[in-house]
Amino acid sequence: MNRKAIVLRIKGEINASENVFFKSIALYRSLSAANPLLYERELASRLVDLSYLYLDKGELATQEKLLAEALALNTRLAEIAPAAGSPKTAFLTMMTAIVNMEAGKMVQAENLLEKAYTLACQSLESPVSQQVKTDVELQLARLAVAPLEKELETAEGTAGLIAVYRKMAAVWENEAKKYPDNTALQERITQTYIDISWYQLLEENFEEAERSARRGLESVPDEPALRCNLAHALLFQGKYAEAVAIYTALKDVEDGEGRPYGMVCTDELVTFRESGITHPDTKKIITLLGGE
């Protein structure tokens, strides 16, 4: 029954999915009343699955209520059977924290994340707890970055955006020092330098764009979008041979949508040219990449 509800949710049949979830949860409430130790864990899982449906609907208060009930059930299970209950309790505590973050309740979110982190660290023999630990580290870092995301909304022009993104990069880098094994934080650093170097290219500040791209690549050396920005910065400075080497290496690498970076880089060069940002060698690069 629960699988059917999940399939209906994925297909977008929200009302039908909700009804199936309700029937499944009603069944497990009845079974749990008779045998809590055997069925409360399953009831909690169904409450979590239903909570995702309310996340899709944007009903965060309802999602938070369902997660709170699931958390209470798993906390009780953790007291009886720690090996089974503690990892799930850590996960649900983290999920509840994320809901609080989305609702703007940052203090509550931080307290819950710290609790989830402690719980996860107490049961690291579990793959679930290992993943929760990694995810919580990222969420704690997101909390530190959150005020700067607000600043982005009011930043004026590309120069204003660059200034805010630089501050964000500094925060991500500081958080990454706390959790050096967390690759997700390294990826956030690189993503921020993608944004910084892109806006610097638009500002025609090509030397700074090169420096930013190289700094971001220290975190994730093979990030193709950042390597593309680096190639642009080199091209516009007249460093043709270096730019060609990167463009050639990227040409057949596919982005997340399956487009080869030869096409991505070409489209970006055309966009730059239309904005008045170009170089005498731009046409040769576009030809090299298979464009025009």
Tens digits of pLDDT across the chain (292 residues) = 657 766 667 778 888 888 888 888 888 788 888 877 677 777 877 887 787 788 788 888 888 888 888 777 777 666 655 555 577 788 888 888 887 787 788 898 899 899 889 988 888 888 888 998 999 999 999 999 999 988 988 999 999 999 999 999 999 999 999 999 999 999 999 999 999 999 999 999 999 999 999 999 999 999 999 999 999 999 999 999 999 999 999 999 998 888 899 999 999 999 999 999 999 999 999 999 987 6
| Domain range annotation of the chain | 1-145, 155-292
Angle at 52 between CA 50 and CA 53, to 5 degrees: 65
pTM metric for this prediction: 0.78
Q: How far is CA 79 from CA 32, 76, 86, 135, 288, in A?
A: 17, 5, 8, 24, 64
Name the phi and psi angles at 260, rounded to 5.
-65, 145
* Entry field: residues in the chain: 292
- How far apart, in Å, do the first and last CA atoms of the chain sit? 54
For 62, the token pair is 């309802």
Q: Give, in words, the CATH class of 155-292.
A: mainly alpha
Instruction: Write the burial class of residue 34 (CB in 10 Å: 0-12 exposed, 13-18 middle, 19+ buried).
Output: exposed
Among candidate residues 152, 249, 242, 131, the one with its CA nearest the CA of residue 196: 152
Q: Which CATH superfamily is domain 1-145 in?
A: Tetratricopeptide repeat domain (1.25.40.10)
